[in-house]
Amino acid sequence: MTHDRTIQAVAGAVLIGAVVLAGGVLTGLTATAERHVLRYTNLAVAGAPPVVALGTAIGALRGIIVDYLWIKVHIMKQKGLYYEVMADADLITKLQPRFSAVWAFHGHNMAYNISVVHNTEPERWEWVKQGIDLIRNRGLRYNPNDLQLHRELAFFFAHKIEGVSDDAHLFYKREFAREWHNVLGRPPYDYEARIQWIKVVADAAATLDQAERATPGVTALVEKLRTELEPFKDRYRFALDKSFLKAFAEWEAIKGQSAYARIFDFETRTRQENPVFVVFDEIAGDPEYAEAWKALVAHVRKRVLLDDYNMDPQLMYEYTRDFGPIDWRHGQAHALYWSLKGSEQGEERVELSVDEVYRIVNNDRIKLQAMQGLARWGRINLDLFSNDWVSRLPDPRWIDVIDRYWEQYSIKHRATRGPGPDIFMGFHQNFLSSSVRELYRSGEVKLARKYRDRLCDLYGMGNPQRPNPKFCAPLEIFVWNQVKDEYTFQSHLAASDVAASLRYAFRIGIGQDRPEVFQKALEFSQKVTRYFKENEYNAFVTKMGSARLGALIDNLENSAVTVFAQLMVDTTVDMGERLVIYRRAPDDLKVRIYDLVAPLLRMQLEAHPLGSRFPFEAAFPEPPGLEAYRRLQREKGGKPKDDDDAEVERR
What tens digit of pLDDT does each residue of 614-630 get?
A: 889 999 999 999 999 88
Q: Which pLDDT value is given to residue 355?
A: 62
Q: Which pLDDT value is given to residue 27?
A: 57
Residue 551 has pLDDT above 50, yes or no: no
- Which one is predicted more confidently, 400 or 464? 400
Q: Which pLDDT value is given to residue 538?
A: 47
Return the sign of the alpha-carbon dihedral for residues 311, 362, 153, 177.
positive
Q: Which pLDDT value is given to residue 331?
A: 96
CA-based R_g, the chain, Å: 31
Q: Where are the domains of the chain?
A: 159-185+327-413, 188-310, 572-651
Out of 137-151, 303-317, 486-500, which region has the weakest mean confidence (pLDDT)? 486-500
Record the pTM.
0.77
Q: Which pLDDT value is given to residue 534?
A: 67
- 200-218 pLDDT per residue, tens: 999 999 999 999 999 999 9
- In the structure, what pLDDT confidence band is assigned to residue 354 with cuts at 50, 70 and 90? low
- 360-398 pLDDT per residue, tens: 888 999 999 999 999 988 988 888 888 878 878 788 899
Exposed (0-12), middle (13-18) or buried (19+): which is 597, by Cβ within 10 Å?
buried
Out of 2-16, 128-142, 147-161, 471-485, which region has the weakest mean confidence (pLDDT)? 2-16
Helix (H) or strand (E) holding 294: helix 290-308
- Mean pLDDT, the chain, integer: 81
Averaged pLDDT, 597-618: 88
CA dihedral 486, 488, 493, 497 (to 10 degrees): 80
Out of 33-37, 175-179, 192-196, 379-383, which region has the weakest mean confidence (pLDDT)? 33-37
- Which one is predicted more confidently, 53 or 411? 411
The separation between CA 323 and the C-alpha centre of its own chain, rounded to angstroms, equals: 16
Distance CA(165)–CA(159), nearest Å, equals: 8
Distance CA(621)–CA(642), nearest Å, equals: 22
Residue 570 has pLDDT above 70, yes or no: yes
Contacts 24+ apart (CB under 8 A), 108-111: 108/152, 108/156, 109/77, 109/82, 109/85, 110/86, 110/134, 111/156, 111/160
- Which one is predicted more confidently, 378 or 21? 378
Q: Which pLDDT value is given to residue 624?
A: 93
Share of the chain residues as helix, strand and coil, in percent rounded to the nearest 5? 75, 0, 25
- In the structure, what pLDDT confidence band is assigned to residue 490 with cuts at 50, 70 and 90? low
- 104-122 pLDDT per residue, tens: 888 888 899 888 888 899 9
Averaged pLDDT, 550-554: 46
